[in-house]
Amino acid sequence: MKYLGIEPKKPRVAVFDFTSCEGCELQFANKEETLVDFLASIEVVAFREISSARGDNYDIAFIEGSITRTDEIERLLQIRENATTLVSLGSCACFGGINKLKNAFDLNEANREVYGSRSKETLPARAVHELVKVDLKIPGCPVSKDEVERIVQHLVWDIPYHYPAYPVCLECKQRFTVCVCELPYNDGAKSTSGQLCLGPVTRGGCDAPCPAGGLGCWGCRGPAEDANIESFLSIAREKGFTEREINERFEFFGGFEGLK
C-alpha cells in the first residue's frame, strides 16, 4: 500500500499468547472486510492462530495475556531480546486483566482445590510491563479491531499513536445511547434506579459497546486521562452503591490499580 508514492517497509510481525483467552489476537484475524489489506501491510513471522510460520526474526512482537508461570517469564525475556518493538495486546497484557483476580486468593490452596495431588505451577498474575520494557500498550478486553489496525498502520509508518484522552461517556453520547445510570435496572438479585458505570473515568476508543447493549462499563480500557476518580466515587456512593460493588468494578480488569 503506497502513501505519497512511497512503499513502506513491511514490518515483520509476531503475535504470542501467554495466559489469556486468545480473544484479543482473534481480533486481528476476524475483521474480514479489511483483513487482506491489513495482512498486505505486514509480514507475519509467527502467529499461531492464523499461520503455521514459526520464525523468531521479527520487528514487532504483540504479547497477549498476563504472565503466570516460570516458563512464560523465560519466553517473554527471549521475545523482548528478539523484538525491536514490544506491544502489550489487551487488558491481560496491559494490566494483568481478569487473571489478576486470582492474586487475592491463597494460590497453594486454590491449586489443591482445583488440581488435588496434580498441582500446577501458578504464580501471581503480572502484566507484561512488570517484567520487561513495553513500547506500546493496547488496552481492551478484547482490544478494538479498528484501533489495532490503526495502531499497526502507525507502527508501519513509524508515526506516534495517541490514544483518545476522552472517556467512554463521549462515545456513548455520540451513538445516542441512553445513559444506563439513569435507567431502572433489575439483575434478579437487586433492583436499582440506575446501573454503576465506569464510563466517566474510563479511556474511550471502544465505541461504548457495553452501555449500548444495556450494561454499565467495567473499565476494561483502564483510566481516561485526568479521570476524576474522587468525584466519581462520591457520586457512586451518593447513588447507594456499596464499597464492595464499587471495588469489584474497579478491580475487575486491573487497569485502575492504585487509583482507588
Binding site for ligand SF4 (CB under 6 A): 20-21, 23-24, 64-65, 90-92, 97-98, 141-142, 168-169, 172, 177, 179-181, 197, 199-200, 202, 206, 208-211, 217-221
Helix boundaries (H) for the chain: 23-29, 32-40, 70-82, 91-95, 107-115, 145-157, 168-174, 209-212, 229-238, 243-251
Kindly report whether the peptide bond that precedes residue 142 is cis, defined as omega within 30 degrees of 0: yes
Question: Could you tell me the smallest distance in angstroms from the CB atom of residue 183 to ligand SF4?
Answer: 9
Closest to ligand SF4 by CB, 8 vs 179, is: 179
Closest to ligand SF4 by CB, 8 vs 194, is: 194
Question: Could you tell me the smallest distance in angstroms from the CB atom of residue 146 to ligand SF4?
Answer: 13
Beta-carbon contacts of 234 under 8 Å, excluding residues fewer than 6 positions away, are none
Closest to ligand SF4 by CB, 54 vs 175, is: 175
Contact 155, 60 (CB under 8 A): yes
Residue nearest to ligand SF4 (CB): 199
Question: Could you tell me the smallest distance in angstroms from the CB atom of residue 7 to ligand SF4?
Answer: 33
Closest to ligand SF4 by CB, 43 vs 248, is: 248
Question: Could you tell me the smallest distance in angstroms from the CB atom of residue 219 to ligand SF4?
Answer: 6
Contact 85, 132 (CB under 8 A): no
Question: Could you tell me the smallest distance in angstroms from the CB atom of residue 208 to ligand SF4?
Answer: 5
Angle at which helices 32-40 and 145-157 cross, to 10° = 20
